[in-house]
Amino acid sequence: MNMEMLALEILDNTVLKKTVLVFFCGFLFWKIVRYMCGLLKVDKEPVTILVTGAAGQIGYALVPMIARGMVLGPNQPVILHMLETEAGFEALKGVKMELIDAAFPLLKGVVITTDVVEACKDVNIAVMVAGIPRKEGMERKDVMSRNVSIYKAQASALEEHAAADCKVLVVANPANTNALILKEFAPSIPEKNITCLTRLDHNRALGQISEKLNVHVSDVKNVIIWGNHSSTQYPDVNHATVATSNGQKNVRELVSDDYWLNNEFITTVQQRGGAIIKARKLSSALSAASAACDHIHDWVVGTPKGTWVSMGVYSDGSYGIQPGLIYSFPVTCDKGEWSIVQGLKIDELSREKLDKTAQELIEEKALAYSCL
Ligand SMILES: NC(=O)C1=CN([C@@H]2O[C@H](COP(=O)(O)OP(=O)(O)OC[C@H]3O[C@@H](n4cnc5c(N)ncnc54)[C@H](O)[C@@H]3O)[C@@H](O)[C@H]2O)C=CC1
Ligand SMILES: O=C([O-])CC(=O)C(=O)O
């Protein structure tokens, strides 16, 4: 029998036909069940999210946002783990009562504790807010010694008890250096899973451009925060655009005021945290909580095509930044992973600013180790 006839024989075989039909029907049935489950919202396992320092200013603003689906979307149930100190525990009990009273449909469980091991158990996402905020007149690194020791202590609990693929976002200041300490004292957590929050600065930069041009903030995109979440950060608009009726236009061209962009715009974004502390006598809890939601949301769900965001991530040497620092870069996210946007042109002024903020991170790292 030649090959052609053999192939015809196989195709003609009724057993084979039936098998193919059964597989096809099974596949179709599975697709329909998944679709129906999606409609009925019944198939998703809850995701466990840890918030440390959960009774504090940011924690109090953040946990209802998470419970409402602002981080993982309206169809994803969540379980909240909330960690506090002994001194903060009474207030945390109140936060739990309020979460119950808010009757959030997505909230499938709440654990409150002062035990870091219990807090970290099986968490899929950890938002590390615990720490002392700076007061008026202080720089963020002034809270270094108290805060880095918290991150050293909590690193091993996360490493040993969180889910193996847990994503970590460090919010507490000095955010980049706390994240670096956490990474160094939790060596088995992949470095790609440890990040820090510079999305607040990114959103502040979008807000300033939107105010200046009197356009909606959602029409502005691709600003960049380079470096440290500190007053040396570099808010860069050289690649930023605004959506107009004539397509995407470059922010520099539209603003048409390089002096403002290279001076007042940069210092306003760099100093915005301080300005809010001066006004509120408390740190920027509402916008920080919202930015933390944006950070995790985009990391998990992905960034829209053609758009990047700023995240403090482990430097691989991109743009000449010393590998191993946690440095804010422009990143895109896809399938739960971030990648640094490559190939952007860096002019001379930008180069200086990228290096200055990297230098501060190198010095902060040395200072952090001297505090431990
Ligand atoms: N990366 C960013 O964009 C921003 C960072 N921050 C920083 O976030 C941190 C938190 O700020 P706020 O919520 O305003 O401060 P907060 O003082 O209101 O809250 C911090 C909470 O952490 C708790 N805490 C302290 N040590 C702890 C520990 N070892 N374990 C568990 N809980 C602990 C405290 O009891 C307190 O309830 C500060 O370091 C602040 O500077 C604030 C705004 C923006
Ligand atoms: O400035 C602070 O200390 C709080 C903070 O990090 C911010 O608002 O960016």
CA-based radius of gyration for the chain: 24
**Rounded CA gap, 156 and 185, in Å?**
7
Report the SS3 class of residue 331. strand
Q: Which ligand 1 atom lies nearest to the CA of residue 150?
A: 29
Q: What is the pLDDT of residues 81-113, one digit of tens each?
A: 999 999 999 999 999 999 999 999 999 999 999
pLDDT tier at 10 (50, 70, 90 boundaries)?
low
Strands 234-236 and 337-340: unpaired
pLDDT of residue 7: 54
Which CATH code of 3.90.110.10, 3.40.50.150, 3.40.50.720, 3.40.50.2000 fits the domain covering 199-370? 3.90.110.10
Question: Lowest mean pLDDT: which of 14-18, 44-48, 309-313?
Answer: 14-18
Of 233, 193, 50, the closest CA to residue 130 belongs to 50
Q: Is 310 in the pocket of ligand 2 (CB under 6 A)?
A: no
For ligand 2, the distance from its centroid to the CA atom of residue 202, given in whole angstroms, is: 13
Residues paired with residue 337 on neighbouring β-strands, in sequence order: 334
pLDDT of residue 32: 67
Instruction: Looking at the CA of 132, name the nearest ligand.
Output: 1
pLDDT tier at 324 (50, 70, 90 boundaries)?
very high
Instruction: Looking at the CA of 197, name the nearest ligand.
Output: 1
Q: Is 119 in the pocket of ligand 1 (CB under 6 A)?
A: no
Q: Is the pLDDT of residue 27 over 80?
A: no
pLDDT of residue 25: 66
Backbone angles phi, psi at 10, to 5 degrees: -65, -45
203 in Cβ contact with 151 (< 8 Å): no
Of 71, 69, 77, the closest CA to residue 298 belongs to 71
ipTM confidence score = 0.98
pLDDT of residue 145: 84
Q: Is 58 in the pocket of ligand 1 (CB under 6 A)?
A: yes
Active-site positions read 229
- Residues constituting the chain: 372
Q: Is the pLDDT of residue 263 over 70?
A: yes
Question: If you write DSSP's letter for every residue of 291-304 in order, what string do you get?
Answer: HHHHHHHHHHH-PP
Q: What is the pLDDT of residues 200-236, one digit of tens each?
A: 999 999 999 999 999 999 999 999 999 999 999 999 9
pTM of the model: 0.90
Q: Which ligand 1 atom lies nearest to the CA of residue 153?
A: 29
Domain 47-196: state its class. Answer: alpha beta
Chain mean pLDDT for the chain: 92
Q: Is the pLDDT of residue 285 over 80?
A: yes
Question: Lowest mean pLDDT: which of 54-63, 304-313, 362-371?
Answer: 362-371
**Rounded CA gap, 239 and 149, in Å?**
38
Q: What is the pLDDT of residues 32-64, one digit of tens each?
A: 666 665 555 556 999 999 999 999 999 999 999
Close Cβ partners of 48 (under 8 Å, ≥ 6 residues apart): 78, 79, 80, 81, 122, 123, 124, 125, 163
Which residue has its alpha carbon closest to ligand 1 atom 19?
56
Q: Is 71 in the pocket of ligand 2 (CB under 6 A)?
A: no
CA–CA–CA angle 172, 188, 303 (5° rounding):
60
The domain limits of the chain are 47-196, 199-370
312 in Cβ contact with 195 (< 8 Å): yes
110 in Cβ contact with 96 (< 8 Å): yes
> 172 or 13, which is more confident?
172
Q: Is 173 in the pocket of ligand 1 (CB under 6 A)?
A: yes
For ligand 2, the distance from its centroid to the CA atom of residue 174, given in whole angstroms, is: 9
Q: Token pair of 156, please?
A: 């091993």
Q: Is 284 in the pocket of ligand 2 (CB under 6 A)?
A: yes
Residues paired with residue 125 on neighbouring β-strands, in sequence order: 49, 167
| Beta strands across the sheet bearing 241-244 | 220-221, 241-244, 247-250
Q: Token pair of 333, please?
A: 């996210």
pLDDT tier at 22 (50, 70, 90 boundaries)?
confident
Burial (CB < 10 A; 0-12, 13-18, 19+), residue 40, is: exposed
**Rounded CA gap, 357 and 351, in Å?**
10
Instruction: For residue 90, give the H/E element and its range.
Output: helix 86-101
Q: Is the pLDDT of residue 172 over 70?
A: yes
For ligand 2, the distance from its centroid to the CA atom of residue 79, given in whole angstroms, is: 28
Close Cβ partners of 368 (under 8 Å, ≥ 6 residues apart): 144, 148, 174, 177, 180, 181
Which parts of the chain are beta strand (E)? 47-52, 78-83, 107-113, 125-128, 167-170, 194-196, 220-221, 224-226, 234-236, 241-244, 247-250, 309-314, 326-334, 337-340
Q: Which ligand 2 atom lies nearest to the CA of residue 173?
A: 6
Q: Is the pLDDT of residue 74 over 70?
A: yes
Which residue has its alpha carbon closest to ligand 2 atom 7?
273
**Count of CA atoms in the C-beta half-sphere (13 A) of 78:** 24
Q: Is 131 in the pocket of ligand 1 (CB under 6 A)?
A: yes
Q: Average pLDDT in the 269-277 region?
A: 96
- SS3 sequence of 123-190: CCEEEECCCCCCCCCCCHHHHHHHHHHHHHHHHHHHHHHCCCCCEEEECCCCHHHHHHHHHHCCCCCC
- 115, amino acid identity: D
148 in Cβ contact with 177 (< 8 Å): yes
Binding-site annotation: residue ranges: 53-59, 134, 140, 147, 171-173, 204
For ligand 2, the distance from its centroid to the CA atom of residue 251, given in whole angstroms, is: 26
Q: What is the pLDDT of residues 143-170, one digit of tens each?
A: 888 888 899 999 999 999 999 999 999 9
